[in-house]
Amino acid sequence: MAIENIWIIDSNSGICIYDWCTEFKEKTIDEQLVSGLLLAFRSFSSEAGLVDISAIEGIDRKLAYQADDRFIIASICHTNDYEPLVNKTLQGLLADFRKKYKHLIDEDSTTDVSPFRTFHEDLESKLEGTTATRSLVSLFAGGIITMMLVGVVFVIYFFVNDDINILLPESGGILSLIIIFIGYFVSGVIGGLIAGDRKFGIYSGIFASIPITAVFIGILYSEWIKINVAAVVINSLLYFILFILLITAGGIIGGYRREQRHLYPFDIEEEYEE
């Protein structure tokens, strides 16, 4: 689950009218304590001019919150979560809550919080599919997919290289290299998306670059015995640096896009088994 707790607070009355906790986590936080904390913190932030603060961060969790003209919605989520995505998720949940209980809100009937318990199903449905796992499995999957896509790029290159050189005898070689470099970059982007975030995108790019460079050099210098060994070593190093830069740059962008679209999950079941 991407989010452990949700609280919705009526800022008019200062009452927490709705609270939710994931089924894997024992409810230990007093909702009225959260209500008092957020109301006091928002008041302090306003007085101090800290208007852009929307989260209080810990080591691996953070208290994120959003507010409209009347309600505050707060959550406990992963500290690495992309802040605009968290804010959008909370704003969407609050909009759904207001729409579902519009008649009660318009009548100012928020002192009895029991009717709001029916929002559990809506909330869990809204959070379903919002997470993406980041693990060694996703990292290696990203690296392997990157290598496979680079292999496809090589196949395309060998099929079109002669035609390009015929059509563009003076610049065909350069264009062919550009196609390869773009292919490497795009492969890195897709690998980063699968890996899950920017850090894993870098790792998957490095993991993929080593065998890719080895294969490339092996093909390029198939008659390496006839070539100066020093030149082979220097060129191999230069190609490796170029490839790793292209692929990891793509991995960073792909990983960043994944961060923008999916929250980090908590492995709460495993935590409580321990």
- Per domain, the residue ranges of the chain are 3-127, 136-261
Amino acid at 224: W
Max CA pair span of the chain: 88
Q: What is the pLDDT of residue 173?
A: 64
Residue with tokens 């897709």: 190
Question: Which of 61-70, 216-225, 235-244 bottoms out in mean pLDDT, i.e. has the lowest?
Answer: 216-225
Mean pLDDT of 34-55: 76
> By C-alpha distance, which of 123, 122, 96, 75 is closest to 264?
75
Contact indicator for 201, 254 with CB cutoff of 8 Å: yes
Asked whether the predicted pLDDT for residue 269 surpasses 50, the reply is no
Q: Residue 213: pLDDT band by 50, 70, 90 thresholds?
A: confident
Q: What is the pLDDT of residue 273?
A: 41
Q: What is the pLDDT of residue 196?
A: 93
**Predicted confidence (pLDDT) per residue in 59-76, tens digit:** 888 999 998 888 999 999
Amino acid at 34: V
Asked whether the predicted pLDDT for residue 224 surpasses 90, the reply is no
Higher-confidence residue of 267 and 156: namely: 156
Contact indicator for 157, 175 with CB cutoff of 8 Å: no
Asked whether the predicted pLDDT for residue 256 surpasses 50, the reply is yes
Asked whether the predicted pLDDT for residue 245 surpasses 60, the reply is yes
Mean pLDDT of 262-270: 71
Count other Cβ atoms within 10 Å, centred on residue 10. Answer: 19
Mean pLDDT of 134-158: 90
The CATH class for the domain spanning 3-127 reads: alpha beta
Question: Which of 41-55, 134-148, 179-193, 216-230 bottoms out in mean pLDDT, i.e. has the lowest?
Answer: 216-230
Q: How far apart are CA 258 and CA 189, in angstroms?
A: 10
Mean pLDDT of 110-138: 89
Contact indicator for 2, 266 with CB cutoff of 8 Å: yes
Q: What is the pLDDT of residue 203?
A: 95
Q: What is the pLDDT of residue 226?
A: 60
Half-sphere CA count of 252, side-chain side, radius 13 A: 5
Q: What is the pLDDT of residue 270?
A: 42
Asked whether the predicted pLDDT for residue 223 surpasses 60, the reply is no
Q: What is the pLDDT of residue 250?
A: 95
H-only helix segments in the chain = 31-48, 83-100, 102-106, 119-127, 136-167, 172-195, 198-220, 229-261, 268-273
Amino acid at 206: I
Dihedral of the CA atoms 105, 110, 112, 113 (nearest 10)?
Answer: 90
Residue with tokens 């009355």: 13
Q: What is the pLDDT of residue 194?
A: 95
Q: Residue 228: pLDDT band by 50, 70, 90 thresholds?
A: low
Q: What is the pLDDT of residue 212?
A: 84
Residue with tokens 């980063």: 192
Q: What is the pLDDT of residue 143?
A: 94
Question: Which of 116-120, 153-157, 163-167, 246-250 bottoms out in mean pLDDT, i.e. has the lowest?
Answer: 163-167
